[in-house]
Amino acid sequence: MEIDSISGEGRMERKKRELRQKIINVAMKLFEQQGFSNTTMEQIAEEADVARKTLYNYFPVKEAIANEYVRGISTQMAEEALAKLQKLPDTRSRLLKALNNAYGWVELNPELTGIVLAYRFKTSYYSYDKNQDSKNEFQERGTYRIIAEIIRQGQQSGEIRSDVHFKWLVRYVDLLRGTIVWEWLQDTSSFELREEISRMVDIVLDGIRSDDKRSK
Amino acid sequence: MEIDSISGEGRMERKKRELRQKIINVAMKLFEQQGFSNTTMEQIAEEADVARKTLYNYFPVKEAIANEYVRGISTQMAEEALAKLQKLPDTRSRLLKALNNAYGWVELNPELTGIVLAYRFKTSYYSYDKNQDSKNEFQERGTYRIIAEIIRQGQQSGEIRSDVHFKWLVRYVDLLRGTIVWEWLQDTSSFELREEISRMVDIVLDGIRSDDKRSK
DNA sequence: GCATATAATTATACAATGTGTAAAAAAATT
DNA sequence: AATTTTTTTACACATTGTATAATTATATGC
């Protein structure tokens, strides 16, 4: 079955990948033109020239299309960012840099960000329906990947405590980041995004206890 | 309009409240008998003897019914718990006690817990559709209310840092708690719920930095 | 009490979602 | 070239959620 696993990929696999990409492109074009909620799966199928059912074979819900598109961008940005992060001196600066990095895009694409954030929470929280994504969603991609790398590095260097599995630490940071971004999207004038993120990083690093009450 | 705002409430308001409750009761009964996803809004409307549209006037989606039911229980438990918490000596013990408190119920009702958790994230994260709940959802009810009380108290006593708005602190704790519970629901054998919660409380209180690297 | 305004419920219709089934088409395997 | 496997498709279906306008129930002013 998996003959051309590395070199080529077989006509079938290639066609599937191409169609998948075509769907994403078509859908994103429609979303841009008419807005996300005004675009139906029917339209997307029509425009991509496949049966509606086929579209559903590729993406079980509309949000999944947007998600995959954003994930692509995010993964790409992550790779570029990772290299630069090595030069920074400590975990705090790396975290701040990494988290702040993505906001330019977020600010330009608030609606899409909202949709994708919502979808990710939904699938990661509501996977009584187990599609293959649900578990991998929070896996090592995009911002999650960067955070994971930073935490891992922090644990190796002894900067971050090692008595908690890094999986949890990463999840926490990613989740809190998501919450802040979302809150900000709701009302962009209510607070300064970067400021709040910075405060969050402080909390995660140092905890919420008053300094003067700290043991030692 | 609001004549009987305190004593009675007017026939109309009373009837609405009664019908609302009836719907919840009927729905919960059906959920128990046939499972959540096997129960349709049609059935619920039928059984409650109202038009489907009326049902939708009360609850825009099925999950909202389960949510309101759980919120009732949760609010009730919260009130009982709050009194006892005062006796505990510090924030850590109060947080642990409060968070651990609800798990008996969670363990007995994993499916419902999952549905409600998912719904809350969805509505709090995906409120491009603004129903009245979306903003109040995370307001002072249930576990959220307890956490808020504990944090508030901690800030007053100087135990918790006051340079961050308590709204965020509460949200963080509540969110992290939700995540852990969810993860645990996915595979109840993968870790000890109370242990992980305890670790999370430690992190929130003291941060993720290694003790030996801590300033001061 | 009666008339009138207000609000809730209803029947009806509709667009859209998401799924199941079985047949057709395409690709891979022998 | 014949086969097996996979994918796409057409079709049908139950369900969701919303919009509209008619009907009914409740509240309010007289």
The three-state secondary structure class of A160 is strand
What are the pLDDT tens digits along chain A (216 aa)? 333 444 466 777 888 889 999 999 999 999 999 999 899 999 999 999 999 999 999 999 999 999 999 999 988 888 888 889 989 999 999 999 999 887 888 888 888 888 888 788 767 654 433 334 334 444 567 888 899 999 999 999 999 988 888 889 998 998 899 888 888 887 888 899 999 999 999 999 987 777 655 544
- Domain B66-213 annotated CATH 3.40.30.10: no
Interface test with B, best of A36, A92, A125, A169 (most B CBs within 10 A): A125
Residue nearest to nucleotide C26 (CA to C1'): A12
Q: How far is the CA of A1 from the C1' of D5 (A)?
A: 10
Question: Cβ of A91: how many Cβ atoms within 10 Å?
Answer: 22
pLDDT, averaged across chain B? 82
Whether the pLDDT of residue B212 is over 60: the answer is no
Cα–Cα separations (whole angstroms), residue A18 to A32, A86, A126, B190? 21, 35, 29, 38
pLDDT, averaged across chain A? 83
Looking at residue B115, its pLDDT comes to 87
CB contact under 8 A, A216 and B216: yes
Contacts of A37 in chain B (CB under 8 A): 128
* Whole-angstrom distance, CA of residue B71 vs CA of residue B77: 10
Using the Cβ of A105 and the Cβ atoms of chain B, whether some distance falls under 8 Å is answered with no
Four-residue CA torsion sign, A38, A42, A43, A45: positive
Which residues sit close to strand C, CB under 7 Å? A 1, 3, 10-13, 15, 40-42, 52-53, 56, 60-62, 129; B 1, 12, 15-16, 19, 49-54, 57-58
* Whole-angstrom distance, CA of residue B125 vs CA of residue A121: 8
Q: How many CA atoms lie within 13 A of A149 on its CB side?
A: 18
Q: How many CA atoms lie within 13 A of B99 on its CB side?
A: 30
Q: Where in chain B is CATH 1.10.10.60?
A: 1-59
Q: Which nucleotide is nearest to A62 (CA to C1')?
A: C17
Q: Where in chain B is CATH 1.10.357.10?
A: 66-213
Looking at residue B43, its pLDDT comes to 95
Burial class (CB in 10 A: 0-12, 13-18, 19+), A198: middle
Superfamily of the domain at B1-59? Homeodomain-like (1.10.10.60)
A102 contacts A95 by C-beta, under 8 angstroms: no
**Backbone conformation region of residue B49, classed left if phi is above 0, alpha if psi is from -120 to 50, else beta:** left
- Select from B127, B160, B214 the Cβ nearest to the Cβ of A216: B214
Using the Cβ of A130 and the Cβ atoms of chain B, whether some distance falls under 8 Å is answered with no
Residue nearest to nucleotide C15 (CA to C1'): A40
- Select from A125, A158, A205 the Cβ nearest to the Cβ of B118: A125
Superfamily of the domain at A10-59? Homeodomain-like (1.10.10.60)
Which residue type, as a one-letter code, is found at position B126?
Y
Looking at residue B6, its pLDDT comes to 41
Between helices B166-186 and B110-125, what is the axis angle to 10°? 140
At B147, list the tokens. 């956490």
Q: Which residue is closest to A162 within chain B, CA to CA?
A: B210
Residue nearest to nucleotide C7 (CA to C1'): B12
Q: Where in chain A is CATH 1.10.10.60?
A: 10-59
Looking at residue A137, its pLDDT comes to 40
Domain A63-209 fold is Tetracycline Repressor; domain 2 (1.10.357)
Q: How far is A173 from chain B (nearest CA, A)?
A: 10
